[in-house]
Amino acid sequence: MLLCDSGNMEPINAMASRLLITDQIMPALRHWWPINPVNAPASIALSSLIAIIIFSQFYLAIAARRWKRHFPPAVPGLPLLGNLLQLGEKKPHKTFTAWAKKYGPIYTIKTGADTMVVISSAELAKEAMITKFSSISTRKTSRALSILTEQKTMVAMSDYGEEHRMLKKLVVTNLLGPIPQKANRHLREMASFKMLDAMYSQLKEMDPISCTATLNLRDYIKQALFPFSMYQVLGRDPEYVYVKEFGRNVGRWEMFEIFVGDPLKAVIEVDWRDFFPALQWIPNKAVEDKITSVAVRRKAVIRALIEEQRQMLAKGKQPDCYLDFLLTQATHLTPKQLEMSAWEPIIESADTTLVTIEWAMYEIANNPAVQERLYQEINEVVGSSRIVTEEDVPKLKYLDAIVKETLRKYPPVPLLPPRHVDEDVQLGGFDLKKGWQIIFNIYGINYNTQVWKNPEVWDPDRVLGDKDLDLGFKDHRVLPFGTGKRMCAGVTQAMYIIPTNIAYYVQHFQWALPQDNQDGKGVADTVFLTTHKLHPLQAIVTPRHSARLPLTI
Ligand code: HEM
């Protein structure tokens, strides 16, 4: 195309000027390769040859750079399916951690058409989540997550950007940050004290003489946390709500299933089309219907609650809770953002905190020496005539070690929701390609044998007095809450509720596991997205006092 078909130089010059070869460059070129009308065809052919050589060298240099790209090791898999069949069970974090021992702290796997980078070391997690955050800040959600999160209209699942910042600021400033959480202390105490009273009445009812009986602790934690989360958001814990779409009332515990239980089960629903984008067009109605029905039910109930709240405000109720704030002050929210902002803190309050408390109490019940030591600490710091308070917690160092060691051994979110590589980036000296996804294997980080000896052993002494261990703020050895700009927004609330509740339980009761406890060896099994204990904790509970201790003497 660049050649002209005669000796006429005009078209070449015109083309040169079109190619921005300016008047200054052309004379220099002519000097270097004298072009004249007589030998023009030969000159042009030679020029072209040189251009081709230069171009191909340039191309080869780029290609060589690309060939030299240093990708992380890949776990061998099958053609097309990749490693999907190796991830069939519900504990992929354990498989990832086993692979990390073989392939190192960063490796790739293929899940169908997707390349996923799995990271299992604190240094690499820090590099990706803090230093290289801007290149890795969006999320590619599964179909199930996309439906359940109303296309990422949720702080935890949104891409980093304007909407995320706006929604996160709203919830942190008005509900989850240190100031609103301090103000909500009475709600936490009310919920926990009600739970302790319920445990006492149950024990008295089951065995009026010894008051010792086997209780299902998960039920009690749930009975405290769900009403608490409703109070935080709605300023009340409605026994039921009328849902127009259902044509009937929905009771408190049905609401729990609709807001918490069902979405958690639905989110791990696997739709094979997630792994093969080329086959998106094939319908998978059964899975889609199931997930859509969970989302539709949730929407109907949250709308009913919002409508009730609107009516209460219209009748003169003073705004005194998060939803009131959203309805009266955050009027810029779209209806979808409003509904999701009301629901998100409910599901987040009710699940991960429960998981942590239940695992901590399982370990405490299973380790009488630890239990006795914690009880002695509480007695020394607080005494036995009043209940532990939130002000006491910073003084209870052994309790702090128990909480941190539990979050290390049982991180409630063992794998962070995958992040998307938005542009080619280097991580730990390896090249990652745009379009890949990154899985942060928090479980693998917390079980890194180069950092933690015998990581599968629960031992609060290993973190006792370790002042640096701050769970992801500055120190990255244990990352239950993630780190950096996407760090958990509920960390303040969780770190109020978890230690106080463990302290209440140990201050008021002695705990033991029944002989025939179902946990046996496979205790760390998990059933949901979070590391729920496979079986609810059944423990033999003996009161240390005749009733709940008072707040003040
Ligand atoms: C032991 C309790 C908890 C644990 C272990 C936990 C853990 C996590 C983790 C690992 C993330 C994801 C970070 C990432 O993707 O990089 C997260 C995000 C989040 N958590 Fe929690 N969480 C807990 C409790 C809570 C509570 C009680 C709430 C609120 C009521 C909450 C609200 C959030 C929110 C809003 C985000 C999204 C933050 C963002 O994307 O910017 N979490 N949490």
* CATH assignment at residue 179: 1.10.630.10
Closest C-alpha to ligand 1, atom 18: 488
Check pocket membership of 156 for ligand 1, CB cut-off 6 A.
yes
Nearest atom in ligand 1 to the alpha carbon of residue 493 is: 27
Question: 375-382 contacts: CB < 8 A, separation 24 or more?
Answer: 375/506, 375/507, 375/544, 378/503, 378/506, 378/507, 382/507
CA distances from 171 to 42, 308, 338 (A): 73, 21, 11
Tell me how far the alpha carbon of residue 486 lies from the centroid of ligand 1, in angstroms: 8
Q: Which of 176-185, 451-460, 511-520 has the lowest mean pLDDT?
A: 511-520
Closest C-alpha to ligand 1, atom 34: 489
Nearest atom in ligand 1 to the alpha carbon of residue 156 is: 37
Residue 96 lies in a domain: no
Closest C-alpha to ligand 1, atom 3: 352
Q: What is the mean pLDDT of the chain?
A: 87
Residue 364 pLDDT more than 50?
yes
Check pocket membership of 417 for ligand 1, CB cut-off 6 A.
yes
Residue 78 pLDDT more than 60?
yes
Residue 76 lies in a domain: no
Closest C-alpha to ligand 1, atom 39: 486
Residue 409 lies in a domain: yes
Tell me how far the alpha carbon of residue 389 lies from the centroid of ligand 1, in angstroms: 24
Check pocket membership of 243 for ligand 1, CB cut-off 6 A.
no
State the DSSP string of 410-445. S-SSSBPPPEE--S-EEETTEEE-TT-EEEEBHHHH
What is d(CA 159, CA 521) in angstroms, rounded to the nearest whole number? 40
Q: Distance from CA of residue 350 to its chain's centroid?
A: 15
Rounded to two decimals, what is the model's pTM? 0.86
- Do the bridges between strand 437-440 and strand 106-111 make them parallel or antiparallel, or are there none, so unpaired? unpaired
Check the annotation: does 321 bind a ligand.
Answer: no
Check pocket membership of 499 for ligand 1, CB cut-off 6 A.
no
What is d(CA 503, CA 521) in angstroms, rounded to the nearest whole number? 27
Band (41; pLDDT cuts 50, 70, 90): low
Check pocket membership of 481 for ligand 1, CB cut-off 6 A.
yes
Band (520; pLDDT cuts 50, 70, 90): low
Residue 463 pLDDT more than 90?
yes
For the chain, how many residues are written?
553
Q: Express each pLDDT in 269-305 by its tens digit.
A: 766 667 666 666 677 777 788 899 999 999 999 999 9
Residue 63 lies in a domain: no
Residue 66 lies in a domain: no
- 3-state SS record for 75-138: CCCECCCECHHHHCCCCHHHHHHHHHHHHCCEEEEEECCEEEEEECCHHHHHHHHHHCHHHCCE
Most confident segment among 21-35, 54-68, 83-97, 279-293: 83-97
What is d(CA 125, CA 118) in angstroms, rounded to the nearest whole number? 10
Residue 279 lies in a domain: yes
- Do the bridges between strand 114-119 and strand 248-251 make them parallel or antiparallel, or are there none, so unpaired? unpaired
Residue 81 lies in a domain: no
State the DSSP string of 191-258. HHHHHHHHHHHHHHHH-TTT--EEEEHHHHHHHHHHHHHHHHHHSS--SEEEETTTTEEEEHHHHHII
Give the three-class secondary structure for 383.
coil
Residue 10 pLDDT more than 50?
no
Check pocket membership of 152 for ligand 1, CB cut-off 6 A.
no
Q: Which of 20-24, 44-48, 55-59, 371-375 has the lowest mean pLDDT?
A: 20-24
Range of the domain at 164: 122-543
- Domain tally for the chain? 1
Angle value at C-alpha 30, between 28 and 34, nearest 5 degrees: 145
Tell me how far the alpha carbon of residue 267 lies from the centroid of ligand 1, in angstroms: 16
User: Which of 407-421 are b and which e, b meaning 16 or more Cβ less than 10 Å from the residue's Cβ?
Assistant: bbbbbbbbbbbbbbb
Tell me how far the alpha carbon of residue 481 lies from the centroid of ligand 1, in angstroms: 6
- Do the bridges between strand 437-440 and strand 114-119 make them parallel or antiparallel, or are there none, so unpaired? parallel
What is d(CA 510, CA 241) in angstroms, rounded to the nearest whole number? 38
Whole-number pLDDT of residue 144? 86
Beta-carbon neighbour count of residue 206 at 10 Å? 14
Check pocket membership of 149 for ligand 1, CB cut-off 6 A.
no
Give the three-class secondary structure for 281.
coil
Check pocket membership of 531 for ligand 1, CB cut-off 6 A.
no
ipTM for the complex shown: 0.99
Tell me how far the alpha carbon of residue 186 lies from the centroid of ligand 1, in angstroms: 22
What is d(CA 18, CA 91) in angstroms, rounded to the nearest whole number? 61
Q: Are 483 and 129 in contact (CB under 8 A)?
A: yes
What is d(CA 59, CA 22) in angstroms, rounded to the nearest whole number? 25
Q: Under 8 Å CB-to-CB from 406, ≥6 apart: which residues? A: 356, 359, 360, 363, 458
Percent above pLDDT 70 for the chain: 82
Residue 461 lies in a domain: yes
Q: Express each pLDDT in 110-163 by its tens digit.
A: 988 899 999 999 999 999 999 999 999 998 888 888 999 999 999 999 999 999
Among 259, 478, 488, 500, which residue has the most ligand 1 atoms within 8 Å of its CB, making it the best to mutate?
488
